[in-house]
Amino acid sequence: MDLRDPRLATAAATAMAAARVTIGLSTVLRPDRLARSWLGESAEGTDARPAVQVLGRGHGGRDLMLGAGALAALAARDRAAGAWLAAGGVADAVDGVTTVLLWRSLPSRSRWVFAASAAGTAVASGLICAGLRPR
């Protein structure tokens, strides 16, 4: 797969943005699911519940809007599509760094999953951006 091909890069960018919208929307609607899978026991219980709702919905809203912005720019063939995708990649990189910084306090399985997925999507965003040509 050669992401230097603008058509392939555009298709990959569209898929990534659509996935971000889907994940963002599901997290806005059910922030507890993301929190439990990422944070484990620390996200459970009545004391953590309001914080889980606020942070989870904020995180989901961020992804929802980053994905929607990228999809809108891609549909309009706007050169800003790369910036939207890059912003999503930076957000994912921050998630990955945060996961690594709090490594020992996170559940052993989820820390690997979240660190790897954050790193993977951050790198993929960069590669895809490089293949999108300004229009």
d(CA 59, CA 84): 16
In a domain, 96, yes or no: yes
Note the pLDDT of residue 51: 81
Q: 124 in a domain, yes or no?
A: yes
Q: What is the pLDDT of residue 45?
A: 65
Q: What share of the chain is helix, strand, coil (3-state, %, to 5)?
A: 85, 0, 15
Task: Examine residue 1 and state whether it is found in any structural domain, yes or no.
Answer: no
Cα–Cα distance, 86 to 100 (Å, whole number): 21
**Res 1 pLDDT > 90:** no
Tens of pLDDT, residues 9-67? 999 999 999 999 999 999 999 998 888 888 877 666 655 678 888 988 999 999 999 99
Do the domain assignments include residue 12? yes
Query: For residue 16, what are the domain limits?
Result: 6-131
**pTM confidence score:** 0.89
Angle (CA) 102-108-110 rounded to 5° is 80
pLDDT 10s digits, 96-110: 999 999 999 898 888
In a domain, 117, yes or no: yes
Question: How does DSSP assign 29-87, residue by residue?
Answer: H-HHHHHHHHHGGGG-STTTHHHHHHHHHHHHHHHHHHHHHHHHHHHTT-TTHHHHHHH
Structural domain contains residue 62:
yes
Give the count of domains, the chain. Answer: 1
- The pLDDT value recorded for residue 76 is 96
| Residue 135 pLDDT grade (very low, low, confident, very high; cuts 50, 70, 90) | very low
The predicted structure's pLDDT at residue 40: 78
